[in-house]
Structure 1
Amino acid sequence: MNLLSLDARWRRLNDPDFVSQIDGRSFSGLIDLGFDAPDAWPFGPLLEGGADVLEAGEDRLSPELCRLGEDRFLHAVLPIPVRGSDEVFFFAPWVQVAPTDFYAYIDSLTEGGPAFEGCEGLIANALPGFEDDDAIACRLVPGGTGERPVAQIQTDPLAQTQTDGISFDDLLDLYAAAGDDIRPHLANG
């Protein structure tokens, strides 16, 4: 049995038929937090023009890859288990990698290309709830076929969080830190 099933707020979050009394908002499970571009990207979001690639001179941003000056970035996923459940919350940050690793990843996407072996990187977005002046080091490992690489955090406190998971209240705090405080919506049925 999922221990969080005892929490009415958890049941409301996962009930697609639940409607918030505040504004009619409904949910159907965990809300993952993604980023449109690395924080250093100065040219606006990809989605504004509807194009698959946003180009500004030599700089390029696609949904999965980014080149900004001499820097290279891969879009990744960062899983964090939710304690008391079988669910996993995902950040979808950008990770700065060495140019050789960036091109090795691209080569792995071609049919018959070499497998992506993974690489070291630095999280390139400020993660709500885990803001730090120091860069967050990670190891990228291959995701499943057709999936983004998975970031395994190397520095605490996020590394410990990724291992131990977060409580449901911590997750709600994280959503609030990201600008979407859903706690009032889930408080009353």
Structure 2
Amino acid sequence: MRFSFLCRACGETHTGMPSFGADAPWLVEQMAPAERETRCQLDSDACIVDEKHCFVRATIDIPVHGSDEPFSWGVWVSLSSESFDAWDACFNDARRAHIGPFFGWLSTQLPVYPATLNLKTRVHLRDDGMRPYLELEPTGHPLAVEQRDGITAERVAELYVRLVHDA
């Protein structure tokens, strides 16, 4: 059965697990468009700033109680040059989940949580062209707690309202 929820803000029933994400690392989002042009190489999967700061797009998957499908945040994570090179070397390989994991710093500020920038992560590659997933350091940060313990369907609906209707 597909996930669905009744939205308390608009009264509509939304079908399918929502997901939200950032188009670029936080550092890049702070730049003026002209500055981005000269300092950044940005595509849908990777970003390099000033030819030295390396980022990859990943997901933070949050288990949803009673659903087989997680709630996913599309985020960016910084990697060391060495880790980025290893990620890049296997990017087009169908089988790459055995490579890594890599240490990374979360480089997306998620609007419904206290500061998420620079949370410590482990970046796990996945097979078949799927984006990497992040394992947050097991701390008391609300995002780490939700990743570890999961969330309810009601929490998914709350996140949807806050991100779509309250934005």
Question: Structure 2 matches for 1:26-175, cutoff 5 A?
Answer: 27-41=14-28, 42=31, 44=33, 56-69=37-50, 70-110=52-92, 116-132=99-115, 135-154=118-137, 155-157=139-141, 158-175=143-160
Distance of 1:160 and 1:28 partners within structure 2: 26
Change in Cα spacing, 1:37 to 1:85, as seen in structure 2 (3 Å) is: same
TM-score normalised by length of structure 2: 0.78
1:87 to partner: Cα distance: 2.6
Q: Which has the higher strand share?
A: 2
Amino acid at match of 1:37: A
Amino acid at match of 1:34: G
**Maintained 8 Å contact 1:78/1:152:** yes
Aligned with 1:57: secondary structure?
A: helix
Amino acid at match of 2:71: F
Q: How far does the alpha carbon of each residue in 1:35-84 deviate from its partner, in whole angstroms, 9 at most, with x for none?
A: 1101111255xxxxxxxxxx723520000000012211000011001123
Distance of 1:142 and 1:94 partners within structure 2: 14
**Which has the larger Rg?**
1
Any unmatched runs of 5+ in structure 2?
A: none
Partner of 1:50: none
Distance of 1:168 and 1:43 partners within structure 2: 38
Distance of 1:113 and 1:125 partners within structure 2: 27
Distance of 1:125 and 1:117 partners within structure 2: 21
Give the count of matched residue pairs. 157
Distance of 2:18 and 2:95 partners within structure 1: 34
Amino acid at match of 1:156: G
Any unmatched runs of 5+ in structure 1?
A: 14-19, 45-54, 183-189
1:139 to partner: Cα distance: 0.3
Distance of 2:41 and 2:101 partners within structure 1: 22
Distance of 1:141 and 1:133 partners within structure 2: 19
1:135 to partner: Cα distance: 2.2
Aligned with 1:109: secondary structure?
A: coil
Amino acid at match of 1:96: S
**Maintained 8 Å contact 1:77/1:92:** yes
Deviating above 6 A after TM superposition, structure 1's stretches of 4 or more consecutive aligned residues are none
**Maintained 8 Å contact 1:59/1:67:** yes
**Maintained 8 Å contact 1:123/1:138:** yes
Distance of 2:48 and 2:135 partners within structure 1: 22
